[in-house]
Amino acid sequence: MSGTAGAGKEAAERPILRVLDGEALSPPPAWMMRQAGRYLPEYRAVRAEAGSFLDLCYNPDFATEVTLQPIRRFGFEASILFSDILVVPHALGQDVRFVEGEGPRLDPMAGRTEFDALIEAGDPRIMRHLAPVFETVGRLRAELPSETTLLGFCGAPWTVASYMIGGRGTPDLAPARALAARDPALLDALIDRLVAVSTEYLVRQFEAGADAVQIFESHAGSLPDVPAGEAGDALSRWSFRPIARIVSGIRARVPGARIIVFARGSGLDGHARVADETGADAVGVDWAVDLKALRARLPARVVTQGNLHPETLIAGGAALDAAVDAILEATAGTPHIFNLGHGITPQTPIPHVERMLARLRR
Ligand code: CP3
């Protein structure tokens, strides 16, 4: 594919972009989900200075600094914009806050009344609210080493909707599933709103300097239990088709835009369907999926990314070395981006990240 997003000679030489364009690199380039985070003392220091978590997300000085920290320390081949998927509901006018040690809290969208109070897609207030994010992206592209790929991101509509409806992370997504059963038209309307806003949001990230984007469907795993009505299976209806609309909407405005989709918890079958059904270039692979089995089901042009278990990284030692080797073996000769199978957790020892990279790059 001829990428034009963030194009130019330098861009074409970024290892992650080469892999996203279908090249197999050995060793594969690497980054980690949640690579800017609480396992780093320098992150905790900025976090304490910034005030609330959202203050950190909306402050381009602080957000740029924490995004760069893991690049300076480890030299990852990709840098992911520091922000959160929940700035989108916040921009739509929903109350969002992060409670220390507990995670996100939103005023739950219980029904039509709360939905009608949200800002309409296309209202300039939404992108104005998100302007500090675009400023952060621009600064990052200027400050990052030229070989480092800059990734933007957003949450997929179903995952973001599940927080908007439940008001928090709910293990089984009961409130969102109940809405899908009770009022699928309302859920459709919410998903449509999120498709429109997320498309615009990611296009603006590309325009500000992002080289590629990742769409996080972190709650794909709950979808098999969701009613899908007449319209095919739940993974298609509530996840893959909305994501496909975002992907094609972006590419209509950013030709050749490179896009990674991470459908966590969707199983081997779900992962095998991601690229075909969404149009993504790359499939983010969670730690529960057998990479070799997945690779066997994917066309050669589809890129994989993942999938070291975050707990193996906490364990370290010979088990970590073996797990890195197994990923290299499963993806040898194919376009692969090394990553974890979900975000790095705060208790991970930094020397284990160093050991992982040393093993990978040896
Ligand atoms: O380094 C990066 O990966 C970029 C930044 C990033 C964050 N969140 C920062 C963050 C990204 C890409 C996200 C995405 C995100 N946010 C997802 C999808 C990915 C996934 O993990 O499945 C989801 C579901 C969220 C919503 C969210 N944000 C939750 C559930 C939580 C609480 C959990 C926790 O770890 O505390 C957050 C908070 C959050 N987002 C933190 C960070 C670094 C920790 C908050 C802090 O520093 O106090």
- Answer yes or no: is 58 within a domain: yes
Task: Give distance in angstroms: CA of 300 to centre of ligand 1.
Answer: 32
Looking at residue 231, what is its pLDDT?
59
Cα–Cα dist 4/253, whole Å: 11
38 Cβ closer than 6 Å to some ligand 1 atom: yes
What average pLDDT does the structure give for the chain?
94
| ipTM summary value | 0.93
Which of 5-16 are b and which e, b meaning 16 or more Cβ less than 10 Å from the residue's Cβ?
bbeeeebeebbb
Average pLDDT, integer, range 156-163: 98
pLDDT over 60 (residue 6):
no
The pLDDT of residue 3 is 42
32 lines ligand 1 (CB under 6 A): no
Q: Find the 84 Cα to ligand 1 centroid distance in Å.
A: 6
Report CA(34)–ligand 1 centroid distance (Å): 7
In a domain, 3, yes or no: no
2 domain residue, yes or no: no
Ligand 1 in reach of 200 Cβ (< 6 A)? no
Contact 133, 83 (CB under 8 A): yes
- For 246, 261, 356, the CA distances from 250, given in Å and listed in that order, are 6, 14, 34
Q: Quick check: is 38 catalytic?
A: yes
Domain residue limits at 31: 9-360
User: Per the domain annotation, does 217 fall within a domain?
Assistant: yes
44 is catalytic: no
In CATH, what number is assigned to the domain containing residue 239?
3.20.20.210
Q: What is the pTM of this model?
A: 0.95
What separation, in Å, do the N-terminal and C-terminal C-alpha atoms of the chain show? 30
Closest CA to 88 of 188, 155, 167, 38: 155
Pick from 226-230, 250-254, 278-282, 337-341: least confident: 226-230
Residue 84 is a catalytic residue: yes
What residues form the annotated binding site?
A: 34-38, 84, 163, 218, 342
pLDDT (average), residues 40-60? 96
Any domain includes 296? yes
**For the chain, how many structural domains are there in total?**
1
Is the CB of 158 inside a 6 Å radius of any atom of ligand 1?
Answer: no
